[in-house]
Structure 1
Amino acid sequence: MAANSSETSSQLAWDKDLVAISCVNPWGAPGAYTTLRLDSKGAYPLFLEDHLARLQNCLARLEVTCPFEIDLIRDKIQSVAALRAEDKPCLLRVSVLEDRLQLETRDLPFSGNWMEGRLLPYVRKNPEAKSLDNQLFDHVTQLNRASEEALLLAPDGQLGEGSTSNLIFVQGDVLVSPETNVLPGITLAKLLPALAEKYKVVRRPVYLKELAEFTEILATGSGKELVGFARIAEVGWRARQESVLTTAVKLYGEIKSRYLSSHDA
């Protein structure tokens, strides 16, 4: 892969001395990453400070020393966002390894409000850290990322999170979202307080045997933002309502709009 030439490139990397270097495949390397959404040309990176704080926390959990000041990482992200020429949403993956910083943009793989669920027997080694886990990444690449999301299934039947998302299970006016052994999702953290004003929110584990009790299952994340599962074919589960999804999409749109408006130049 060619070396970097400018900060408008879709793939950028620097070594510890801030010398521009070629990007590498980061998966499987010691390090952490976060994925931000850039909504349009020149738009401020969505929830930037939250992503930076979580990135620092993940590196600490993984015992990886960050060779860069967080202010420098922030500046690099803002520079890439400000100089974007494309007037369409994209994702920006920020990877911090022991010897490099990488910023890579890519098109959104998904559009719409519904996805197909696929059960994936898998437990992340450090679920509360967003590590460069190549085994999970290999599983994700087997999915149709435009229309499918895996639900991670533990040996005890626990459904903690999606492969790239946090989960909300709907049972009447009660919303259940796992809180332990999952990545602290930024989209979820922004949305739950607003949902709690309209529904009862319960943070607890959810098990596969309970699925029939839920009328909706939602997935939240930087790329998908907020989508519903239409079905999970392996267990015959289908969405029977979409009222919470409709409400949640509206609420999240308002949250995002307020944030971006507050960061307009």
Structure 2
Amino acid sequence: MELNGAPTGIDQIKALALTNYGHFTSMLVENNRVRGLSLHMERLARDCRHLFNVELDTDRVRAYVSKALGSGGAATVARVTIYDPALDLGSIGSSADPSVLVTTRTAAQGQSKPWRLQTVSYRREIPAVKHVGLFGTMRHRRSAQREGFDDVLFMNPDGTISEIATSNIGFVRGDQIIWPRSECLPGVTMALLRQALDEPVITEPLTPSDLHDMDAAFATNAATGVRPVRSVDSAEWSADHKELRRLCELYAEIPPEHL
């Protein structure tokens, strides 16, 4: 864990727990390379303008991530959190000087297991921003996991599907890839797949009743890539559909960018 390129202690990171105002992105780093690195940096810059009204030096961010990783080549998930340690509950309106916190963890090995999802009515605050306010998201994930599911699929107040707790979701219908038409966090992996597919992007307002007409489902996330979804509530699919294999192959062929 490093803050602005140097080891940090509790006094500098306690604002994340006590004030909880900031944003982040997480990326899979392999041999100092990241798929969609430019998109991750664009996200950080965009969210920094939105939350702090300042421009973020993304070259500095990249240097901090590279330094935190060191010379090791093992697959690592690096999380970059942007926040201002000087802001507290009483001074949240002050001009900000955001810092860059880089934390790392070893990436999971092997194929990600298929997910079973439970639908829940919930909309994240400012869905387009990857902010650190995760209480509602984690509360619903915890509830779903305690009921035997792996994660939750959020539904808007009108009953349409939006996103998984910390992933995007897509569906296969025939030879088409269908994405929910909804406000959500525009994931980097989803964006890369849409580019790699090189075909018109199809979005539809989907409800749980539409899912029985789908042939397969999948989740996208920068840490795990493309993950099969085995079920959403009572709708179930094969986790070995040929289109899911094609998506995994397409994603694996996307050239990563050097830090």
Alignment match of 2:178 (pick from 165, 176, 179) = 176
Alignment match of 1:64 (pick from 42, 52, 55) = 52
Residue 20 of structure 1: how far off its partner (Å): 4.7
Q: Does 1:79 align with 2:76?
A: no
Report if the CA contact (8 A) 1:111-1:224 is conserved.
Answer: no
Residue 45 of structure 1: how far off its partner (Å): 3.3
Q: Which runs of no fewer than 5 residues in structure 2 stay unpaired?
A: 86-98
Percent pairwise identity: 21
SS in 2 for 1:203: strand
Report if the CA contact (8 A) 1:159-1:206 is conserved.
Answer: yes
Quote the RMSD (CA, aligned, Å). Answer: 2.7
The change in CA–CA distance for 1:151 and 1:110 in structure 2 (over 3 A counts) is: farther
| Residue matched to 1:219 | 219
| Residue matched to 1:237 | 235
Q: Distance in 2 between matches of 1:104 and 1:137?
A: 20
The change in CA–CA distance for 1:213 and 1:231 in structure 2 (over 3 A counts) is: same
Q: Distance in 2 between matches of 1:91 and 1:156?
A: 35
SS in 2 for 1:193: helix
Report if the CA contact (8 A) 2:28-2:35 is conserved.
Answer: yes
AA aligned opposite 1:155: P
| Residue matched to 2:81 | 95
Alignment match of 2:39 (pick from 50, 53, 58) = 50
Q: Distance in 2 between matches of 1:67 and 1:251?
A: 34
AA aligned opposite 1:162: I
The TM-score normalised by the length of structure 2 is 0.80
Report if the CA contact (8 A) 1:169-1:217 is conserved.
Answer: yes
Report if the CA contact (8 A) 2:23-2:129 is conserved.
Answer: yes
The change in CA–CA distance for 1:140 and 1:90 in structure 2 (over 3 A counts) is: farther
Q: Distance in 2 between matches of 1:121 and 1:84?
A: 44
The count of residues paired between Structure 1 and Structure 2 equals 236
| Residue matched to 2:88 | none
Q: Distance in 2 between matches of 1:47 and 1:117?
A: 26
AA aligned opposite 1:218: F
- Which stretch shifts more, 161-170 or 172-181? 172-181
Report if the CA contact (8 A) 1:194-1:251 is conserved.
Answer: yes
Report if the CA contact (8 A) 1:174-1:201 is conserved.
Answer: no
Report if the CA contact (8 A) 1:178-1:206 is conserved.
Answer: yes
| Residue matched to 1:108 | 107
Q: Which runs of no fewer than 5 residues in structure 1 stay unpaired?
A: 1-10
Q: Which has the higher contact order (CA 8 A, sep 6+)?
A: 2
* CA deviation profile, 1:155-183 (whole Å, cap 9, x unmatched): 22111111111111111122111354111
Q: Distance in 1 between matches of 2:132 and 2:176?
A: 34
